Amino acid sequence: METFQYAIRKLIGGIPLVLGVTFISFLLMVYFGPDKTYELLGKNPTEEQIAEIRHELGYDKPFLVRYGDYLKQMVTLDFGSSDSTGEPVSKILARTVPISLALITPGFILGNVLGIILALIAAYHRSGFIDKFIMGFAVVGMSISFLIVVIAFQIIFSSSYGLNAFPVRGWNASSFIEYLRYITVPTLSTVFVALGYNTRFYRAVLVEEMTRDHVRTAKAFGTRPGKLLYKNILKNSLIPIITRIMFSIPLVIVSGSLIIESYFGIPGIGKVTFDAITTGDQPVLKAVVGLTAVLFVLTLLLTDILYRVVDPRVSLK
Amino acid sequence: MRKLAWSLVVIVAVAVAGCAQEQKSNGYDPSLKVYRHAMDQAPSSIDPVQASNVYANHVVLNAYDTLYAFKYLARPYEVKPNLAVDFPEISEDLLTYRIKIKEGVHFIDDPAFPGGVGREVVAEDFVYSIKRHFDPKMRGQGAWLWQGRIVDLDEWKARGADYDDPVEGLRAADRYTIEIRLNKPYPQLTFTLTMGYAALVPREAVEKYGLEMSSRPVGSGPFKVVSYDTSKIVFRKNEKFRQEPVDIWYEGYNPETQGFSGVEAIQGRSPPFLDILEIDFIAESAARWNSFTKDNEVQYTGVPNEQVDNILLSKHPVTLKPEYAEKYFMYAGVEAGFVFQAFNLDFPEFGYNEDPERARRNKLLRCAVIKGFDWAKRNESFYSDIGVVFPGIIPPAVPEYDPDLPRWSVERDVDEARQLLAEGGWNADNLPELVYGTTSSVTSRQFFEQFRGWMKKIGYPSEKVKIKQFATFGDISKAWKNSTLPFVAKGWGLDFPDAENTLQLFYGPNGSPGSNDANYRNPEYDRLYEETSVMLPSPERTALYQTMNKMVIDDCVAITGLSRTRIMLWHKDVIAIPDREIVGGFFLKYVDVDRTGKADAGGSGT
Amino acid sequence: MSAVTPDKAAAAPMEQAAPAHRESLWGKAVYKLSRDRMGMIGLGIVLVYLIVAIGVWLGFWATEWGDVEGPKWAPMSAQYPFGTNIIGQDIFQRALYSTKTAFEVGLVVAVLSTIIGALLGALAGFFSGTWIDEIILWIKGVLDSIPFYLFVAAVAFALSGNPYAMHIAMVSTFWTTTGRLVRGEVIKLKNFEFVEAAKAIGVPQLVIIFRHILPNTFHILLVQATIVFVAAIKSEVILSFLGLGVQDGVSWGLMIAESTQEVLAGFFNNFVWASVFLFGLVMAFNMFSDALQDALDPKKVAN
Q: Which residue of C has its CA nearest to A197?
A: C286
Q: Please check whether residues B554 and B572 belong to one and the same domain.
A: no
Q: How far is A227 from chain B (nearest CA, A)?
A: 24
**pLDDT attached to residue A38:** 80
Domain membership of residue C300 as a residue range? 107-249+276-303
Residue C161 in domain: yes
Which band of pLDDT confidence, cut at 50, 70 and 90, is reported for residue A315? low
Domain membership of residue B200 as a residue range? 45-228
Stated length of chain B: 606
Which band of pLDDT confidence, cut at 50, 70 and 90, is reported for residue A22? confident
Q: Please check whether residues B78 and B181 belong to one and the same domain.
A: yes
Question: Per the omega criterion (within 30 degrees of 0), is the bond before B561 cis?
Answer: yes
Write out pLDDT tens, residues B432-456: 999 998 888 888 899 999 999 999 9
Mean pLDDT along residues C145-164: 77
Write out pLDDT tens, residues B79-136: 999 999 999 999 999 999 999 999 999 999 999 999 999 999 999 999 999 999 999 8
Which of the pair, A17 or B3, is modelled with greater confidence? A17
Residue C220 in domain: yes
Q: Which residue of B has its CA nearest to C65?
A: B453
Report which DSSP code applies to B114: G
B469 CB neighbours in chain C (<8 A) are 161, 243, 247
Average pLDDT, chain C: 84
Tell if the CB–CB gap between C68 and B450 is shorter than 8 Å.
Answer: yes
For B424, list phi and psi in degrees, rounded to 5: -85, 0
Residue C63 in domain: no
Mean pLDDT along residues B539-554: 96
Tell if the CB–CB gap between B475 and C160 is shorter than 8 Å.
Answer: yes
Element at B371 (helix H, strand E): helix B356-372
**pLDDT attached to residue C24:** 67
Q: Which residue of C has its CA nearest to B454?
A: C68
Q: Please check whether residues B358 and B302 belong to one and the same domain.
A: no
Residue C168 in domain: yes
Predicted-assembly ipTM surpassing the 0.85 threshold: no
Residue C53 in domain: no
User: Residue B547 maps to which CATH number?
Assistant: 3.10.105.10
Tell if the CB–CB gap between C264 and B306 is shorter than 8 Å.
Answer: yes
Residue B239 in domain: no
Q: Which residue of A has its CA nearest to B49?
A: A42
Rounded to a whole number of angstroms, the CA Rg of chain C reads 23
As a whole number of Å, the end-to-end CA separation of chain C is 32
Q: Which residue of C has its CA nearest to B377?
A: C87
What is the domain count for chain B? 4
Q: Which of B380, B382, B446 sits opposite C258 (nearest CB)?
A: B446
Q: Which residues on chain A place their C-beta less than 8 Å from a C-beta of chain C?
A: 16-17, 20-21, 24-25, 27-29, 32-34, 139-140, 142-148, 151-152, 155, 159, 161, 250-251, 254-255, 258-259, 262-263, 273-274, 277-278, 288-289, 292-293, 296-297
Tell if the CB–CB gap between C283 and A262 is shorter than 8 Å.
Answer: no
**pLDDT attached to residue B23:** 41
What type of residue is B135? D
**pLDDT attached to residue C13:** 39
Q: What percent of chain B has pLDDT over 90?
A: 73
Q: Which residue of C has its CA nearest to B465?
A: C248
| Residues 30-69 in B contacting A (C-alpha not used; CB under 8 Å) | 44-45, 47, 50, 52
Q: What percent of chain A has pLDDT over 70?
A: 95
Q: Please check whether residues B530 and B585 belong to one and the same domain.
A: no
Residue B553 in domain: yes
Query: Do the bridges between strand B79-81 and strand B89-90 make them parallel or antiparallel, or are there none, so unpaired?
Result: unpaired
Whether the pLDDT of residue B24 is over 70: the answer is no
Q: Which of A25-34, A109-118, B6-15 has the lowest mean pLDDT?
A: B6-15
Q: Please check whether residues B523 and B557 belong to one and the same domain.
A: yes
Mean pLDDT along residues B228-249: 91
Q: How far is C104 from chain A (nearest CA, A)?
A: 18
What is the domain count for chain C? 1
Tell if the CB–CB gap between A21 and C146 is shorter than 8 Å.
Answer: yes
Whether the pLDDT of residue B153 is over 90: the answer is yes
Q: What percent of chain C has pLDDT over 90?
A: 46
Which band of pLDDT confidence, cut at 50, 70 and 90, is reported for residue A252? low
Q: Please check whether residues B557 and B572 belong to one and the same domain.
A: no
For B303, list phi and psi in degrees, rounded to 5: -80, 125
Residue C256 in domain: no
User: Residue B161 maps to which CATH number?
Assistant: 3.40.190.10
Whether the pLDDT of residue B62 is over 80: the answer is yes
User: Residue C114 maps to which CATH number?
Assistant: 1.10.3720.10
Q: Name chain B's partners: 3 or more CB pairs within 8 A.
A: A, C
3-state secondary structure B231-258: CEEEEEECCCCCCCCCCCCCCCCCHHHH
Which of the pair, C303 or B20, is modelled with greater confidence? B20
Tell if the CB–CB gap between C87 and B449 is shorter than 8 Å.
Answer: yes
| Residues 84-103 in A contacting B (C-alpha not used; CB under 8 Å) | 84-88, 95
CA C106 to chain centre: 6
Write out pLDDT tens, residues C78-108: 999 999 999 999 999 999 999 999 999 999 9
Whether the pLDDT of residue A231 is over 50: the answer is yes
Q: Could you tell me the pTM of the whole model?
A: 0.86
Q: How far is B222 from chain A (nearest CA, A)?
A: 23
Whether the pLDDT of residue B166 is over 90: the answer is yes
CB proximity C157 to B under 8 Å: yes
**pLDDT attached to residue A313:** 63
Q: What percent of chain B has pLDDT over 70?
A: 94
**How far apart (Å, rounded) are the C-alpha atoms in residues B233 and B347?**
45
**pLDDT attached to residue C103:** 95
C261 CB neighbours in chain B (<8 A) are 305-306, 442-443
Q: How far is A41 from chain B (nearest CA, A)?
A: 6
Task: Kindly give, in sequence order, each residue whose CB lies less than 8 Å from that of residue B323, ignoring residues fewer than 6 positions away.
Answer: none
**How far apart (Å, rounded) are the C-alpha atoms in residues C27 and B235?**
76
Write out pLDDT tens, residues A96-151: 888 888 888 899 899 999 998 999 889 888 888 999 899 889 989 888 888 889 88
Q: Which of C145, C160, C283 sits opposite A21 (nearest CB)?
A: C145
User: CA angle, corner C217, sides to C211 and C223, nearest 5?
Assistant: 140
Q: Which residue of A has its CA nearest to C142?
A: A21
Write out pLDDT tens, residues B255-297: 999 999 999 999 999 999 999 999 998 877 877 887 888 777 8
A32 CB neighbours in chain C (<8 A) are 157-160
Tell if the CB–CB gap between B456 and C157 is shorter than 8 Å.
Answer: no
Task: Kindly give, in sequence order, each residue whose CB lies less than 8 Å from that of residue B356, ignoring residues fewer than 6 positions away.
Answer: none
Half-sphere exposure of C241 (CA within 13 A, CB side): 28
Which 3 state secondary structure label does DSSP give B177?
Answer: strand
Whether the pLDDT of residue C6 is over 70: the answer is no
**pLDDT attached to residue A316:** 47
Which of the pair, A270 or B180, is modelled with greater confidence? B180
Residue B36 in domain: no
User: Residue A15, Cβ neighbours under 10 Å: how many?
Assistant: 10
Task: Kindly give, in sequence order, each residue whose CB lies less than 8 Å from that of residue B439, ignoring residues fewer than 6 positions away.
Answer: B469, B470, B471, B472, B473, B476, C243
The CATH number of A90-273 is which of 2.70.70.10, 1.10.3720.10, 3.40.50.150, 3.40.50.280? Answer: 1.10.3720.10
CB proximity C160 to B under 8 Å: yes
Count of helix runs (H) and strand runs (E) in chain B: 19, 23
Mean pLDDT along residues B3-32: 53
As a whole number of Å, the end-to-end CA separation of chain A is 14
**How far apart (Å, rounded) are the C-alpha atoms in residues A246 and C105?**
31
Question: Per the omega criterion (within 30 degrees of 0), is the bond before B76 cis?
Answer: yes
**How far apart (Å, rounded) are the C-alpha atoms in residues B504 and B551?**
13
**pLDDT attached to residue B14:** 46
Whether the pLDDT of residue C9 is over 50: the answer is no
Residue B235 in domain: no
Q: How far is A227 from chain C (nearest CA, A)?
A: 28
Question: Per the omega criterion (within 30 degrees of 0), is the bond before B513 cis?
Answer: yes
Task: Pick from A35, A87, A110, A188 the residue to mutate for testing the B interface (most B CBs within 10 Å).
Answer: A87
Nearest to A157 by CA among B13, C209, B64: B13
CB proximity A52 to B under 8 Å: yes
Q: Which residue of B has its CA nearest to A115?
A: B1
Mean pLDDT along residues B218-224: 95
Whether the pLDDT of residue B49 is over 80: the answer is yes
Which of the pair, A46 or B11, is modelled with greater confidence? A46
B284 CB neighbours in chain A (<8 A) are 168-170, 265
Whether the pLDDT of residue B346 is over 50: the answer is yes
Write out pLDDT tens, residues A145-203: 888 898 899 888 887 777 878 887 778 787 888 899 889 999 999 899 889 988 988 88
Write out pLDDT tens, residues B356-388: 999 999 999 999 999 999 999 999 999 999 999
Which of the pair, B203 or C164, is modelled with greater confidence? B203
Q: Which residues on chain B place their C-beta less than 8 Å from a C-beta of chain C?
A: 285-286, 304-307, 309-310, 377, 380-382, 439-443, 445-446, 449-450, 452-454, 456-457, 462, 466-472, 475
Domains in chain A: boundaries: 90-273
Residue B602 in domain: no
Average pLDDT, chain B: 89
Task: Kindly give, in sequence order, each residue whose CB lies less than 8 Å from that of residue C79, ignoring residues fewer than 6 positions away.
Answer: none
Mean pLDDT along residues B189-206: 95
Whether the pLDDT of residue A58 is over 90: the answer is no
Tell if the CB–CB gap between C141 and A251 is shorter than 8 Å.
Answer: no
Residues B55-87 as b or e (16 or more Cβ within 10 Å = b):
bbbbbbbbbbbbbbbbbbbebebebbbbbbeee
Residue B481 in domain: yes
CB proximity B10 to A under 8 Å: no
